[in-house]
Structure 1
Amino acid sequence: MSDPSPVSGREATSRPSRASLRTAVVWDVLKDALDRRAEATGTDSLDVLDTGGGSGNFAVPVARLGHRVTVVDPSPNALFALERRAAEAGVADRVRGVQGDIRGLFDVVGREGFDAVLCHGVLEYVDDPAEGVRNAVAALRSGGSLSLLAAGLGGAVLARALAGHFTEARHALSDPAGRWGTGDPVPRRFTADQLTELASDAGLDVGAVHGVRVFADLVPGVLVDTEPGAAEALLRLEAAAAELPSFHAIATQLHVLGEKPA
């Protein structure tokens, strides 16, 4: 359910790919959280749960850092791809795939067994987002971090308007689920306040809120791919705007990082 493999903006040595432009902010925040947790616990290898992690777009890079990752996903095909990707990356011994979903999470994993939980691209598709967040939090150890990534309402409204679909854009603004019409492939979208409230109500201390893909989905691909230095400049712009609340309202995705109190 998540985007293609993340590449850290700080660590990239070649021109960023379109995939890395969409995930670099989340990856940098997540890596920092894992580093802090590893330092706090005095271990180099954490237990990480990736709910809806699919083929390992985040799980495999996290495993490359030396952590143990459990991926829970309902798709057997995605889990097969995960196994293959982990093997190709040389981290098969640190990645485990389990078929399941966040609603029945504790049918397949234990409670309070993880230092970090990733819930990326999941809340849009569950019947009860609050239950999903509560389950994710219940899987965390005290002091662990939850990384929430979900579709943003404002980004969808802006995209429909810029495409000339003004009626659909207006419909999304008034629709309780933030959908622009019956043909909308995303069942639900969130504002930053809604996502933060879900995390807080589940007992998390919210530490950071980021807008993701603020500009990356709006800039023509031909410009990024052909203009010298454009991709790198866009990556820096995304990072600069990510934490500014004024840009959360137009982000395609929203990211919330919360910590479970000790």
Structure 2
Amino acid sequence: MLGGNLLVGAAASAAAAGRPALEVLDTGGGSGSLAVRVAALGHTVTVVDPSPDALFALERRAAEEDAADRVRGVQGDTGDLVEVAGRGRYDFVLCHGVLEYTDEPRAALGAVAETLRASGGTLSLLAAGVGGAVLSRALAGRFTEARQALTDPDGRWGESDPVPHRFTADQLTALAGAVGLTPLAVHGVRVFADLVPGALVDTETDALAALTRLEAEAAAVPAFQSIAGQLHLLAERSQP
């Protein structure tokens, strides 16, 4: 659902910019499941990822989808992002599932912001939400861990928590503003999907469709954003 919306948004941005194609950056894009779909629309995509194996899989995926001439893989991470990807070059930047694993989220987001064009550059940021972790731990009967996630500055439920940082919607928008980005919209992602037993939707097409509709309608409601497993922030680079 989110990926499909982004593809539509990328196409609209290209038309608004008066160019036949966008320069897109997918930081932490891995094997290119989203990047190759964007390239299939005719856009040029640079994928930055620290894993050589993921970049090899990206190259193979792009070739299989006849998009090899529009997809470029570069090894790196947010620490050297500007050096390996370029400054002020991209119309649209995807940063999904990256910020929560960086040592310094503000510095990482600042680097991502620097890669956007100064005029009209748009960021799609997807990061782990605090509320979803609190709710999931509580429903599992792990009340001490739920309280820890609720009160911890990084939203972690304990020392063995594999996610270094989680965010609230307010924290994400504040981070964006601090690095020169103007937030446009925030949506909750996986509000219910991680809580619904798989048996209820795995074999019921109608149930899955109904869940998808429910997720879409709840995504923009602040009360449900606060319990979402992930938060999606759309922002643009502020004018200098």
Please give the TM-score of this superposition, normalised by the length of structure 1: 0.88
Deviation of 1:145 after TM superposition, in Å, equals: 0.3
For residue 238 of structure 2, what is the aligned residue in structure 1?
261
- Residue 202 in 1 paired to residue 179 in 2? yes
3-state DSSP class of the match of 2:15?
A: helix
State the alpha-carbon separation in 2 of the partners of residues 35 and 201 from structure 1.
28
Distance 1:27 1:243 in 2: 16
Q: Specify the alignment match of 1:78 in structure 2.
A: 54
Provide the secondary structure at the position in 2 that maps to 1:216: coil
User: Whole-Å Cα distance in 1 between the matches of residues 109 and 222 of structure 2?
Assistant: 22
| 2:150 match: secondary structure | helix
Instruction: After TM superposition, give the deviation of residue 85 of structure 1 in Å.
Output: 1.1
Letter in 2 for 1:69: V
In the TM superposition, what are the counterparts of 1:36-115 in structure 2 within 5 Å?
36-115=12-91
RMSD: 1.2
Counterpart for residue 123 of structure 1: 99
Residues in 2 aligned to 1:135 and 1:232: alpha-carbon distance in whole angstroms: 38
Q: Where in structure 2 are there 5+ consecutive unaligned residues?
A: none
Report the Cα offset of residue 97 of structure 1: 0.5
Matched, 1:191 2:197: no
Return the letter of the residue paired with 1:166. F
Contact 2:82 2:114 in 1 (8 A): no
Q: Which residue of 1 aligns with 2:124?
A: 147
Q: Are the counterparts in 2 of residues 73 and 99 from structure 1 also a CA contact under 8 Å? A: yes
Contact 1:37 1:144 in 2 (8 A): no
Per-residue CA deviations over 1:19-78 (Å, capped at 9, x if unaligned) read xxxxx1x22442243123211211221100011111112111111111100000001111
- Stretch moving more, 206-215 or 224-233: 224-233
Determine the structure 1 residue equivalent to 2:113.
137
CA contact (8 A) 1:205 1:261 kept: yes
Match of 2:195 in 1: 218
Indicate the SS of the match to 2:120.
strand
% identity of equivalent residues: 65
Q: Deviations over 1:134-183 (max 9, x none)?
A: 11111111201001100000001101111111111111111111111111
C-alpha deviation, 1:261, in angstroms = 3.3
Of stretches 165-174 and 37-46 in structure 1, the one that deviates more from structure 2 is 37-46
2:151 pairs with one of 174, 178, 195: 174
Separation (CA, whole Å) in 2 of partners of 1:150 and 1:69? 21
SS at match of 2:31: coil
TM-score, normalization by structure 2:
0.96
**Amino acid aligned to 2:45:** V
**Equivalenced residues, count:** 238
Cα distance change on mapping 1:223 and 1:108 into 2, 3 Å: same
2:218 matched residue in structure 1:
241
In structure 1, what residue type is equivalent to 2:104? D
Q: Which runs of 5+ in 1 are unaligned?
A: 1-23
